[in-house]
Amino acid sequence: MQSCCTNYCSLPPWAISSRHFNKHPQPLELQGVRRSHHNFFKLLDADPDPKRRTATFHDYMDVTFQLHQWDQQRTAGGRKSLKNSYLRFLRGWMFDSNGREGAVLKGWVESRFGLTPTYHGQPISDIQSEAYQAYLVDRMRGSARTSAIQAQFDLLFEFAQYELQRRFPGQDHINLFRGIYDFAEHPVLEKIDAHHCVVRLNNLNSFTSDFERAWEFGTRVLAAKVPTSKILFFNGLFSSALLRGEEENLVIGGEYEVEVVTGGFR
């Protein structure tokens, strides 16, 4: 689908969304993010403990975006803008990916990677469609009264990528699963055989690392080898005390070859 947005990534949108990229992934880097926060990543390099690195990340986000100062703002709007942080949007996504928080996260993927959403409460066929306009309304309303939320997502992505490289060195893919009832959100582009096909995933998607849990969300399960470079958030990045739904993984979309599992057995 044509995108109306620019791209701030190291590769163009058509490459990122291609099935070839998913088979032969490359690192994805958002322009200027690591350079702007080089002291933060240098601090992480010196710490071997992932739990301490995660605590450092949250502290750094609090200070950089003044999230801890929300109660010092004079107006309700000022207080709300700082409380509406990256954590609120992640929680909102896990509650309803087709809500306003979901629209803001999909909008971030669109603006940074140039991938337009294909579903938000309904299929989106074109950027001129009413469905796309409805998504834009949710995106704008969700972004209201936030403080640099796009920049917060930028740093979240780069931190997740950093942690994936530290925790799983040399690993290009992770096996993840998504429960579905039908293919309304996932157009089939090519049928390979009775159990394998190529689908177009939305620009941002929820997957789980637990095959059995995926059945809680549908009567079929899509099993995919997801490039680590296309993961915004992964299971175990944060502690459950900060964010529920710890088994959830947020995956940037495109054309994916998947195994379609039915009946609960592989």
Same domain, 94 and 213: no
Q: Is residue 8 domain-resident? A: no
Task: For residue 93, give the H/E element and its range.
Answer: helix 86-95
pLDDT score, position 247 = 79
Same domain, 114 and 197: no
DSSP three-state, residue 261: strand
Q: Is residue 162 domain-resident? A: yes
Confidence of residue 110 (pLDDT cuts 50, 70, 90): very high
pLDDT score, position 82 = 47
pLDDT score, position 50 = 96
Q: Is residue 159 domain-resident? A: yes
Sign of the CA dihedral 20, 231, 182, 126?
negative
Which of 4-18, 130-144, 173-187, 213-227 is least confident?
A: 4-18
Q: Considering 167, 194, 222, which residue would you say is the last residue of a domain? A: 167
The DSSP symbol for 118 reads S
- The mean pLDDT of 204-230, rounded to a whole number, is 96
Tally the domains of the chain: 2
Tell how strand 231-233 and strand 248-262 pair up.
Answer: antiparallel
**The amino acid at 195:** H
For 222, phi then psi, to 5°, come to -95, 120
Same domain, 159 and 214: no
Which of 85-99, 113-127, 229-243 is least confident?
A: 229-243
Mean of per-residue pLDDT scores for the chain: 90
Q: Is residue 138 domain-resident? A: yes
DSSP three-state, residue 148: coil
Q: What domain range includes position 192?
A: 173-262
Report the alpha-carbon distance of residue 102 to residue 54 in Å, rounded: 23
Tell me the per-residue pLDDT of 124-151, one tens digit each, with 9 for 90 and over.
999 999 999 999 999 999 988 788 899 9
Same domain, 162 and 31: yes
pLDDT(265) > 70: no
Q: Is residue 28 domain-resident? A: yes
Which structure tokens are listed for 75? Answer: 């107006």
Q: Considering 139, 167, 195, which residue would you say is the last residue of a domain? A: 167
Q: For residue 121, with 0-12 CB atoms within 10 Å meaning exposed, 13-18 middle and 19 or more buried, which class applies? A: middle
Q: For residue 38, with 0-12 CB atoms within 10 Å meaning exposed, 13-18 middle and 19 or more buried, which class applies? A: exposed
From the CB of residue 182, how many other CB atoms can be counted at a distance below 10 Å? 9
CA angle (61, 75, 59) in 5-degree steps: 10
pLDDT score, position 192 = 96
Global pTM exceeds 0.85: yes
Tell how strand 188-193 and strand 196-208 pair up.
Answer: antiparallel
Which structure tokens are listed for 249? Answer: 């993984």
CA angle (28, 33, 37) in 5-degree steps: 130
pLDDT(75) > 60: no
pLDDT score, position 81 = 42
- The mean pLDDT of 170-182, rounded to a whole number, is 96
Tell me the per-residue pLDDT of 43-59, one tens digit each, with 9 for 90 and over.
999 999 999 999 999 99
For 172, phi then psi, to 5°, come to -90, -25
Q: Is residue 198 domain-resident? A: yes
